[in-house]
Structure 1
Amino acid sequence: MRSTDRLKSLMARRAAVTVPGAANAMFARVIEDLGFEAAYVTGAGVANMYLGAPDIGLTTMSEVAETVTAIADAVSLPIIVDADTGFGNAVNMVRTVRSFERAGAAGIQIEDQVFPKKCGHFNGKDVIPLDEMVQKVKAAADARHDQNLQIIARTDAAAVEGMDRAIERARAYVEAGADVTFVEAPTSVEQLARIPRELGVPQVANIVFGGRTPDPGREKLAEMGFSIVLYANAALQAALKASYEVLGALKSEGSLQSVAHRLASFEERQRAVAKDEWDAREARYRAGA
């Protein structure tokens, strides 16, 4: 099956499939190696890892597309890509969708925040007029070549206009052509439960460690009817904490001895990047072999 077909089928199951975020190809390889069914190219993660900057709309379309290309080359999983606001208006959205589809996306998430956008769990968000976002959703749906490429329309209106209005916006995005909707940052289990109950298409839940949305667990989210559950930056947060601990010990002690148990072995590192496969290629194409 094509990756777009696989993602569409996964969405249809409504089984709250866990989808971790990958900010780079290495994280994506770990996600695939552990048996997850899809990966999410996190906009916040790309901003944090690639730019060393917060998620405040600083990344460009080409920077994200380059990351998607690298990840698609490294893994065979369906890839959902965070396209933020589409990097412009409805016309820019056309180019963004076409670029990300060529890069290997199976699903593209777009949102209704004012540009420059902010992390969905930050204060100070604002949203564009409903009619403007409807046109961007239409442009995204029209731009795709593969009709099974999943257009995921996210609304951040819950924090700005309230949950009732956020659900109304999501309905309008479905009418405009979105395959999936994503009501960002509900603040209670009760709000979470409303989303799949009141919206007919597949739904995304986003669990941010330290963020605004409670985590009732995969089983409960499946009972509610969510299709996928994003843990967009779990790998990034784990790597950041471990980096501080290991490098802090190296700085203070001048050695890795006390933190050796926190490190992947040399062999584990090479296995994670499939060095044996590259060795086999080298042997196959060696001159005179």
Structure 2
Amino acid sequence: MNDTKLNTPPKPDANPKQALRRLADARRGVLVPGAFNAMSARIIEDLGFEAIYVTGAGVTNMYLGLPDQAFMGLHEIAEHTARIRDAVNLPLLVDADTGFGNALNVRHAVRVLERAGADCIQLEDQVSPKRCGHFSGKAVIDTDEMLGKIKAAVDARHDSGLLVMARTDAAAVHGFEAAIERAQRFSEAGADILFVEAVTRAEEVRAMPRRLDKPQLMNMVIGGKTPTFGADELGQLGYGFVLYANAALQGAVVGMQKALGVLRDSRQLTEEGGLVATFEERQRLVGKPEWDALERLYV
């Protein structure tokens, strides 16, 4: 059993959308790690985190082996969302990139992702094909076009509790003030959570909770362009969520490189040395004891 949990895992909430709304409104800097598959989501839940971000970059990197440059489509993110929804009880914030087209495509994407189990759907204002928010060479669509996408997303949801998160990448293109202005208009169009991506100055990070009325998410990209802040400080500033979208991915890559490097060099690998999870731990994380109990029930 892993003894490094943050706290006792939260009990399943009867309505994860309502749970996510409460977390957003609390504005206490809730840490949200990104999951790129069902196993990574299980580990996040097992360690006691309160919500999960289904990461488009992570799915693109780990599922397709490609950079985060719009290679992922609606089918891939919906499939991963459904698998993760089956595996965990935590609220899911789902990265829908640009909505995979115009406002009508956004409407379709919201319906598909809501059926797949999303509790919040994130849309961004980049020109398609989009790219990672911390890459150079980004461009953004006109504000009015993005407002249409947000309105389409709000209208498309069957459950009014489904949250819409609107992200702007305008800071890198038009500057910080333009990004703030866009985010405020996104709020007025119906976005529930605001996400200003890739600001580059500490004073900008500190200013945004005072400048914008809706709960906000701050993205801490390891090695990215935004100055690093601790989640406690961001919570004190008034941020609702602190995203580490690809911490699990980057940790998994290093773990695989270390374990497989030892296997390559020594021609064998055992549980000793801490490079791999034990057989028992792997079975616990995928719920084998529960499946064994079910099997006995039906035999």
Is the pair's TM-score, using the shorter chain for normalization, greater than 0.5? Answer: yes
Q: After superposition, what is the alpha-carbon deviation per residue over 1:246-284, rounded to whole angstroms, capped at 9, x for unaligned?
A: 111111221125974211100011011111011111111
One-letter amino acid of the structure 2 residue matched with residue 132 of structure 1? E
Q: Is the 8 A contact 1:246 1:259 kept in 2?
A: no
8 Å CA contact 1:249, 1:258 repeated in 2: no
Q: Give the match for residue 89 of structure 2.
A: 76
* Paired position in structure 1 for 2:187: 174
Displacement of 1:60 in angstroms is: 0.8
Superposed CA RMSD = 1.0
Given that 2:153 and 2:164 are in contact with CA atoms closer than 8 Å, whether structure 1 keeps it comes out as yes
Query: Deviations for 1:31-51, whole angstroms, at most 9, x for unmatched residues?
Result: 111111100000000001110
Q: Identify which of 2, 8, 19 aligns with 2:32.
A: 19
Are 2:232 and 1:215 equivalent residues in the alignment?
no
Distance 1:92 1:42 in 2: 20
Q: Does 1:203 align with 2:190?
A: no
Which of 122, 143, 146 is the aligned partner of 2:135? 122
Aligned equivalent of 1:280, options 270, 293, 296? 293
Q: TM-score, normalised by structure 2?
A: 0.94
Structure 2 unpaired stretches of 5+: 1-13
* Aligned partners of 1:204 and 1:230 also within 8 Å: yes
1:136 equivalent in alignment to 2:136: no
For the residues of structure 2 that align with 1:29 and 1:143, how far apart are their CA atoms?
29
Task: Specify every segment of 5 or more residues in structure 1 that has no aligned partner in the other structure, as ranges.
Answer: none
**Contact 1:207/1:229 (8 A) holds in 2:** yes
Partner in structure 2 of residue 41 of structure 1: 54
Quote the Cα distance in structure 2 between the aligned partners of 1:143 and 1:12.
23
Q: Distance in 2 between matches of 1:122 and 1:163?
A: 17
Q: What CA distance in whole angstroms lies between the structure 1 residues aligned with 2:208 and 2:180?
A: 7
Change (3 A) 1:50 1:159: same
Residue 43 of structure 2: which of 30, 44, 69 is its match?
30
2:193 pairs with 1:193: no
Q: Percent identity?
A: 56
TM-score w.r.t. length of structure 1: 0.97
Q: Residue by residue, what CA displacement relative to the aligned partner does 1:4-24 show, whole Å, maximum 9, x if unpaired?
A: 111011100000000000000
Q: Tell me whether 260-269 or 97-106 shows the greater mean CA deviation.
A: 260-269
User: Per the alignment, in what secondary structure is the counterpart of residue 243 of structure 2?
Assistant: strand
Indicate yes or no: 2:250 matched with 1:226: no
Query: When the two structures are aligned, how many residues end up with a matched partner?
Result: 286
CA deviation vs aligned residue, 1:101-151 (integer Å, no higher than 9, x gap): 111010000000001100000010100011100000000010011111110
2:232 corresponds to which letter in structure 1? E
Q: For structure 1, which segment, 187-196 or 61-70, has the greater mean C-alpha deviation from structure 2 after superposition?
A: 187-196
- Find the counterpart in structure 1 of residue 3 from structure 2: none
The question of whether the paired residues in 1 share the 8 Å contact of 2:271 and 2:277 is answered with: no
Q: Secondary structure at the match of 2:137?
A: coil
